[in-house]
Chains A and B, each alone.
Chain A
């Protein structure tokens, strides 16, 4: 069984408050249609599997804030050592999604190595993640997401998704702009917190 990746986006967006969300490849094309905090979205293009590493950096820099990474299975395979690096640093505020469709979607649907054999939850737990989940049903994911969001991480959530049939245009907001905007938002919110303004007052 598998679900539409948009079903995951919808649930995550509906519970989102001030989490930084990092996306790449197909997720980076889809998430802009669901987000409610674009100023905290880092949609990455041309980063070749580095979303998990970038997420780790933000999680280490902002330990008081949840950081959510939307990774793809092919993308994570390009940077698989990052699972071990994350496991070693053990940021409790990092939630790492892996959208698994078993293929390199943006290049035409070629299968990833070991498709159907490898287990990202198994790999992540062996690498030191605190929790790992696997979902292939949207309703079950929707029921459990709120609790997962409050777990001490690092958490990996593998979601089995269908491949996307239609091609989405690359959003106008490109990576460099997103980097500037998220940096500015985090800087502004740190400044406001320094002044005693609660983060919830700013959203």
Chain B
């Protein structure tokens, strides 16, 4: 398996990432459930999802549960997406190994990229270790940092399904 790592860069560091654009992108993918643990970057996304009848929200207590629930939803014919922070991705490491990698789960994970800065040194270990860990797991990942890049979510969703592997989209911008 070869990691498909993008090296795209945003055109503007102050570009906005709108929660409603991301929600519409998830709906366009045909996603049925969002397995989710809130984080500070994605609170606007939560506020939209919690009231949206088309996407069912599955709130979890700890990120390690996410892939298990997503696996169950897949087995039952649903189309789940996992939304967690990078800190939670580290916590869910053994689920990624034992379920995601061992069972080749076609899951899109939107990962809030806490600590990422385009124009300043990255000092947060949650950001420093994220991409090396993803590369170590040989998981493909992409960046979304503005509304103009939101279409990458749909592409990553299809990549996950086509390649039967977890595909991460790193959300390196707070939602508005």
Contact = CB atoms under 8 A, between A and B. Distances in A.
A62 interface: yes
| B: interface residue count bin | 20 to 34
A197 interface: no
* A-side interface mostly: helix
Given A48-B98, A53-B69, A175-B102, A58 B75 contact: yes
A187 interface: yes
Contact of B76 (A46, A51, A62, A176): A62
Nearest to A175: B103
A176 B77 CA distance: 16
A7 interface: no
Interface stretch (B3-11, B42-50, B57-65): B57-65
Contacts of A50: 64-65, 67-68, 71, 95, 98-99
Interface of B: 33, 56, 58-62, 64-65, 67-78, 80, 94-95, 98-99, 102-104
A48 B95 CA distance: 8
A187 B77 contact: yes
B72 A79 contact: no
A138 to B, nearest CB: 29
A176 B62 CA distance: 24
A70 to B, nearest CB: 15
Top 10 closest pairs, chain A to chain B, by CB: A57-B72, A61-B76, A53-B68, A81-B61, A50-B68, A58-B72, A57-B69, A57-B73, A54-B72, A61-B78
A182 B74 CA distance: 11
A54 B75 CA distance: 9
Given A57-B71, A60-B33, A61-B73, 15 more contacts: A46-B102, A47-B68, A47-B99, A50-B95, A51-B68, A53-B69, A54-B68, A57-B70, A58-B76, A60-B58, A60-B73, A60-B76, A81-B60, A85-B58, A190-B77
28 contacts: A42-B75, A48-B94, A48-B95, A52-B68, A53-B68, A53-B69, A54-B69, A54-B72, A56-B68, A57-B71, A57-B76, A57-B78, A58-B75, A58-B76, A60-B58, A60-B73, A61-B76, A61-B77, A62-B76, A79-B68, A81-B62, A85-B58, A85-B60, A89-B58, A176-B103, A183-B74, A183-B75, A190-B77
Interface residues of A, number: 32
Given A57-B75, A62-B76, A85-B59, A46 B98 contact: yes
Contacts of B94: 48
A200 B123 CA distance: 60
A157 B123 CA distance: 48
A84 B62 CA distance: 10
Contacts of B80: 57
Nearest to A57: B72
Contacts of B71: 50, 54, 57, 179
A60 B103 CA distance: 20
A152 interface: no
Contact of B72 (A48, A59, A175): A59
